[in-house]
Each structure stands twice: as C-alpha cells, then as structure tokens.
Amino acid sequence: MEHSENLFRLGTESAFEVLARAQALSSKGKNIINLGIGQPDFKTADHIVEAAIKALKDGHHGYTPANGILPLREAVSEDLYFRHRARISPDNIIIMPGGKPTMFFSILMFGGPNTEIMYPNPGFPIYESVINYSGSKAVPIKLEEDLNFSFKAENVLNKISDKTRLIIINSPGNPTGGVIPRQEIEILTAGLENFPKVTILSDEIYSRMLYDGRKHISLLEFPNIRNRLIVLDGWSKTYAMTGWRLGFSVWPDQLLEYATRLCVNNHSCVNAPTQYAGIAALKGPQDVVNSMLNEFEQRRKFIVDALNELPGVYCKEPGGAFYVFPNIIKTGLSSQKAQDDLLEMAGVATIAGTSFGEMGEGFLRFSYANSLENIEEAINRIKKIID
Ligand SMILES: Cc1ncc(COP(=O)(O)O)c(C=O)c1O
C-alpha cells in the first residue's frame, strides 16, 4: 500500500489513549480515578435531552441544510450579541459536529507547503497535528507559566513572517486553563493591522468557563479583524454535551462558501435532533451552567491548594476551563514518567504536559471534571506514593 506521506505526520490526542489505558486497568479490577479526560462529569440537562427526543418524535429525521437549521443559527447569533455585543448574522454561522471540525477545516484551508501556521504551545494537540498533516510549518506561540500561561502580544507579532497564513489563539486554554489578558488581546489585534493577509482562528470553546468574576473576551469584539476572523465555540463543555457532537463557528464572508462546501464534502450536516437540543440549551434556563461553574470553582480552589502542598510541585491558579497544569520539574520526573507512575502506582489518570507540545515538558495536566471526593482521594494516593 502506498498511502499519502501526510499520514505519517498526523498526531493524536493522548487523552483518548490514557482513557483507553485507564479503562483497561479498570477492567482488570484496579480502581482508577480519571483526572485525564476533558469533559464535564455532569449530565446534559433534562430539558435539552427532551428537546432532542421531541425533535425525533416530531419527525426531524432527515438531512438539514449543511450550515445548520436557521432557528439554531439565529439562537447562536442572539447569544453572541447577548454575551459579546457582537452583531453576527446567522448567515455567517455554521453549525458543526463539535468544535474540532472548525479547526480541521480552518487549518486545511490555510495549510500547505511553504506556509506557516502559529499555534499555542503547550496547547490543544490537534492544532499541531493538523498543521503538520497539512504540510505547513507549525510555529509555536510559547505560553509562559510566569504569565499565567499567556503570552506577550509583541512576541507573537514578531514571529509573523511572510509565510504566516493563520494564527491560532485559545483562551481560556487547554491544557493550562490560562486566560489571555485584555491588554494583550488589544495589542495583538491592533498589531495585526500591519499583517492584513494573516487570518486568525480563535478557539473559544471554554468561553463560558471563567472564574473569580472574569468575563470572556471574544475576538468578535474587535471589528478591525472581523473580516479575517474565524471563531470556534460549541456546546460540548458549556452544556456537558461532549458526546452529542455539536459546535458552531463564525466565518468571515470570504470563507463562508468554502467552509460550507467542506461541510457538504465531509459530513453533510449535523444530525437534526441534536440541533434542536442546541436551541433548547441556548434558550432554556442557564442555571445548569451556573451551578456547574460554581462546582468547578470550588474544585479548582481545592486542587490548586492540594497540589501546592505536594513536595516538588508548584501550581498556578488558572483563570478558566477545568484544568490545572502544575509544574513538576522539581520532582525530577519527566512528564511522561510522572503520568505513567501516577496511573500504574496510584491509579490516577492525568496527562503528560508533553502531550500538548514539547513546551509542556515538566508539567502535568489534571482535569478537575471529577467529584471533589475523587479529587481528594486522588491527591491522597499521590501523597502516599511520594512518601
Ligand atoms: C481547546 C479545545 N478546542 C476544541 C475542543 C474540541 O471540542 P469538541 O469536543 O466539541 O470537538 C477541545 C476539546 O477538548 C478543546 O479543549
């Protein structure tokens, strides 16, 4: 078989591999606490589930338009206005099967030999994987622990070359929980005026998950880059709907037709009942989101304090998402070794920082999308093996 060379360059998301290893250990009778996977440990709210059931009973079994049903795109448009005061026409919104297809399509649109794409490192591993797959050079934007896992906008602007086609930004970020401060976003968006050919993909999948009263700053709030901005968001994290596969993206006019064609070529449309569930999520009561966030906020405080008490571990308090990214350099363990030891010896699944790029060496990602009791038990087990 002589398949495409590109396949050799495709990476993966280790969280799924760790999940498989954790499940294999569980099936052998080992008790595993999973702080590896990035999905809320809450159930999708009943009114959302009911809306999908009703849609099926009402006969919504067929294809929908490739860009999604109009009432859902209208609901997204209203939500974006409510949250960011951004006036986005439903025509510029495409409903996607989750958040990932938007990054895949955007990177494929701009990637190719002799081009560069900038991406956060440590960052969501699919960025680097698909950039490499596309044939572009992946140029890391280093997220600095000292800057609470953000960056100095000047450094990003300085790295833009005449080969740069796309810059990927992710705030709040996976795996660090870092939030890019408004000041840096302002400098970045203003500086981008000097690079009118560069497109921006802003991954805002954690846009509702901020703590200590922080407010999400969407790149949609900056009209000067709107004509070359793609925004990725969705229901997976906010409404505990990871398995439904429902996301949306905002596209500039120039890319809209191409993005829709990629949908037609790839998946035709998102399944109809899920789209009706999406309307119920946006238009229904938001107390489910708020109570989930309150719970996450308590766990964040607990896990940060508990990790900071472990010898050799130092953990910043992240501003968003549901991850902490402690520095373990002083333990003398590599990230991979720490991940393996914690899984094998303590029965605690975490993800090595290096799964998120080489700049994640010396860190581990813990997801606190697990109960407070389990997090407490996990920390106790880690303490025991350290002792
Ligand atoms: C930063 C980031 N973007 C996108 C996604 C993908 O979201 P989805 O599951 O909706 O495809 C994730 C999921 O973990 C993520 O962490």
3-state secondary structure the chain: CCCCHHHHHCCCCHHHHHHHHHHHHHHCCCCCEECCCCCCCCCCCHHHHHHHHHHHHCCCCCCCCCCCCHHHHHHHHHHHHHHHCCCCCHHHEEEECCCHHHHHHHHHHHCCCCCEEEEEECCCHHHHHHHHHHCCEEEEEECEHHHCCECCHHHHHHCCCCCEEEEEEECCCCCCCCCCCHHHHHHHHHHHHHCCCCEEEEECCCCCCECCCCCCCCHHHCHHHHHHEEEEEECCCCCCCHHHCCEEEECCHHHHHHHHHHHHHHCCCCCHHHHHHHHHHHHCCCHHHHHHHHHHHHHHHHHHHHHHCCCCCECCCCCECCEECCECHHHCCCHHHHHHHHHHHHCEECEEHHHHCHHHCCEEEEECCCCHHHHHHHHHHHHHHHC
Grade residue 56 by pLDDT with cuts at 50, 70 and 90.
very high
Indicate if the pLDDT at residue 347 is higher than 90.
yes
Q: What is the pLDDT of residue 385?
A: 87
Q: What is the pLDDT of residue 255?
A: 98
Grade residue 24 by pLDDT with cuts at 50, 70 and 90.
very high
Mutate to test the pocket of ligand 1, among 16, 128, 237 (most ligand atoms within 8 A of CB): 237
pTM of the model: 0.97
Is the beta carbon of 102 within 6 A of some atom in ligand 1?
Answer: no
Is the beta carbon of 199 within 6 A of some atom in ligand 1?
Answer: no
Which residue's CA is minimally distant from atom 7 of ligand 1?
99
Atom of ligand 1 nearest to the CA of 100: 11
List the single range of 3-7, 295-299, 316-320 with lowest mean pLDDT.
Answer: 3-7
For residue range 234-268, what is the model confidence (pLDDT) as tens digits?
Answer: 999 999 999 999 999 999 999 999 999 999 999 99
Instruction: Give mean pLDDT, residues 208-214.
Output: 96
Indicate if the pLDDT at residue 32 is higher than 90.
yes
Is the beta carbon of 92 within 6 A of some atom in ligand 1?
Answer: no
Residue 189 to residue 224: CA distance in whole angstroms: 7
Indicate if the pLDDT at residue 276 is higher than 90.
yes
Is the beta carbon of 125 within 6 A of some atom in ligand 1?
Answer: no
Domain ranges of the chain: 5-43+287-386, 62-283
Q: What is the pLDDT of residue 216?
A: 97
Is the beta carbon of 123 within 6 A of some atom in ligand 1?
Answer: no
Atom of ligand 1 nearest to the CA of 247: 10
Q: What is the pLDDT of residue 345?
A: 94
% residues pLDDT > 90 (the chain): 95
Which residue's CA is minimally distant from atom 13 of ligand 1?
38
Grade residue 273 by pLDDT with cuts at 50, 70 and 90.
very high
Atom of ligand 1 nearest to the CA of 123: 1
Instruction: Give mean pLDDT, residues 77-105.
Output: 97
Q: What is the pLDDT of residue 387?
A: 78
Instruction: Give mean pLDDT, residues 262-286.
Output: 98
Indicate if the pLDDT at residue 16 is higher than 90.
no
Is the beta carbon of 124 within 6 A of some atom in ligand 1?
Answer: yes
Q: What is the pLDDT of residue 38?
A: 85
List the single range of 39-43, 274-278, 300-304 with lowest mean pLDDT.
Answer: 39-43
CA–centroid distance, 85 to ligand 1, in Å, is: 24
Indicate if the pLDDT at residue 140 is higher than 90.
yes
Q: What is the pLDDT of residue 294?
A: 96
Q: What is the pLDDT of residue 193?
A: 97
Grade residue 195 by pLDDT with cuts at 50, 70 and 90.
very high
Instruction: Give mean pLDDT, residues 128-137.
Output: 98
Is the beta carbon of 322 within 6 A of some atom in ligand 1?
Answer: no
Indicate if the pLDDT at residue 226 is higher than 90.
yes
Residue 349 to residue 15: CA distance in whole angstroms: 9
Is the beta carbon of 234 within 6 A of some atom in ligand 1?
Answer: yes
Instruction: Give mean pLDDT, residues 270-275.
Output: 98
Q: What is the pLDDT of residue 17?
A: 86
CA–centroid distance, 192 to ligand 1, in Å, is: 25
CA–centroid distance, 366 to ligand 1, in Å, is: 16
Is the beta carbon of 323 within 6 A of some atom in ligand 1?
Answer: no
Atom of ligand 1 nearest to the CA of 245: 10
CATH superfamily of the 5-43+287-386 domain: Aspartate Aminotransferase, domain 1 (3.90.1150.10)
Q: What is the pLDDT of residue 81?
A: 97
Instruction: Give mean pLDDT, residues 341-361.
Output: 96
Give the fold, CATH level 3, of 62-283: Aspartate Aminotransferase; domain 2 (3.40.640)
Atom of ligand 1 nearest to the CA of 13: 14
